[in-house]
């Protein structure tokens, strides 16, 4: 087995090929490009027993960042971003379509099973894009703890094969019934102390007002670094 210190994989714009950069403990560096299919195949066939994660850059679809265990492709950490838009909300069995802010999901998966999960809202400010300095905010609806942890209730969580199936957790989250549990009203809006009031107001809007968001103490880059336990 190669005695490497660090390995970073990044995807080309078309997501058809993967660029891999190796740093070995003897100071040697090596770079190569392989197809995405071959990359996933190599990870799947790896027989390594120890846990070594390859850090990934941008990935297909809504995956913002990720890290895969090179000994087990079904063990990974993923940060996904769901752009602002209209999505379904199931409130006590009443289904409605509401404007949502940008959301970011953090998933830690071991052997295909979800171990930890968090969700936060994002505030782009005056920027047109989600960037490293985008402000992290609390999720504006119920069933999410103060620190972003998702309360899944009695949901049966799917087993996933690899990082590209992370979006299945988002689909389940958005389709699950929510209630008043863990809900916190927007700052400076006491009229929304009951979540029903917020929902009725949003039903009349095209976009989610950023003034309804509760800012956290982190920027997106800080949240991601903390999740991956990166050190500057």
* Mean model confidence pLDDT for the chain: 84
Q: Residue 49 has what pLDDT? A: 38
Q: What pLDDT, on a 0 to 100 scale, did the predictor assign at position 230?
A: 61
The answer to whether the CB of 87 falls within 8 A of the CB of 98 is: yes
**Range from 16-30, 31-45, 110-124 carrying the lowest mean pLDDT:** 31-45
Distances (CA, A) of 162 to 110, 131, 168: 10, 26, 11
3-class state of residue 140 by DSSP? coil
Share of the chain above pLDDT 70, in %: 80
Bridge pairing between strands 135-137 and 72-82: unpaired
Strand residue runs (E) in the chain: 4-11, 17-24, 29-35, 53-56, 63-69, 72-82, 85-91, 94-100, 102-110, 113-123, 135-137, 177-178, 215-219
Cα–Cα separations (whole angstroms), residue 58 to 14, 40, 150, 175, 217: 11, 15, 24, 26, 25
Q: What is the mean pLDDT of residues 134-147?
A: 96
Please tell me the least confidently modeled range out of 53-62, 112-121, 129-138, 184-193.
Answer: 53-62
Question: Is 145:138 a contact under the CB 8 Å cutoff?
Answer: no
pLDDT at 52: 61
Residue 181 is predicted with a pLDDT of 92
Give pLDDT tens digits for 167-220: 899 999 999 999 999 999 988 888 999 999 999 999 999 999 999 999 999 999
Q: Which residues in 12-62 belong to E strands, given as ranges?
A: 17-24, 29-35, 53-56
pLDDT of residue 30: 79
What CA–CA distance (Å, rounded) separates 178 from 141?
8
Q: What is the mean pLDDT of residues 116-129?
A: 95
How many angstroms separate the CA atoms of 52 and 201, rounded?
48
Higher pLDDT, 140 or 72: 140
With b for 16 or more beta-carbon neighbours within 10 A and e for fewer, the 71-92 pattern comes to ebbbbbbbbbbbebeeeebebe
What pLDDT does residue 28 have? Answer: 80
User: How confident is the model at residue 47, as a pLDDT?
Assistant: 41
**Do strands 85-91 and 177-178 pair parallel, antiparallel, or not at all (unpaired)?**
parallel
Report the alpha-carbon distance of residue 101 to residue 13 in Å, rounded.
26
Q: What average pLDDT does this structure show over 44-73?
A: 62
**Contact residues for 122 (Cβ-Cβ < 8 A; gap 6+):** 81, 101, 102, 103, 104, 130, 134, 135, 136, 137, 220
40 against 90, higher pLDDT = 90
Q: Is the pLDDT of residue 17 over 50?
A: yes
Please state the rounded mean pLDDT for residues 94-108. 96
């Amino acid at each position: 087995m190669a005695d490497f210190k660090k390995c970073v994989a990044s995807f080309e714009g078309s997501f058809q090929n993967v660029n891999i950069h190796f740093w070995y403990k003897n100071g040697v560096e090596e770079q190569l490009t392989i197809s995405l299919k071959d990359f996933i195949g190599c990870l799947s066939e790896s027989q390594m027993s120890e846990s070594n994660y390859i850090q990934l850059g941008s990935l297909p679809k809504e995956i913002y960042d990720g890290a895969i265990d090179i000994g087990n492709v079904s063990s990974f950490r993923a940060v996904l971003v769901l752009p602002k838009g209209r999505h379904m909300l199931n409130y006590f069995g009443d289904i409605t379509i509401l404007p949502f802010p940008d959301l970011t999901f953090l998933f830690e998966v071991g052997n295909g099973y979800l171990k930890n999960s968090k969700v936060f809202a994002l505030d782009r400010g005056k920027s047109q894009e989600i960037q490293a300095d985008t402000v992290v905010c609390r999720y504006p609806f119920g069933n999410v703890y103060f620190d972003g942890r998702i309360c899944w209730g009695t949901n049966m969580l799917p087993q996933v094969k690899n990082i590209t199936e992370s979006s299945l957790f988002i689909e389940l989250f958005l389709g699950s019934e929510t209630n008043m549990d863990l809900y916190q009203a927007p700052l400076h809006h006491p009229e929304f102390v009951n979540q029903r009031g917020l929902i009725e107001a949003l039903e009349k809007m095209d976009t989610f007002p950023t003034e309804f968001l509760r800012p956290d103490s982190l920027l997106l880059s800080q949240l991601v670094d903390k999740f991956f336990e990166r050190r500057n």
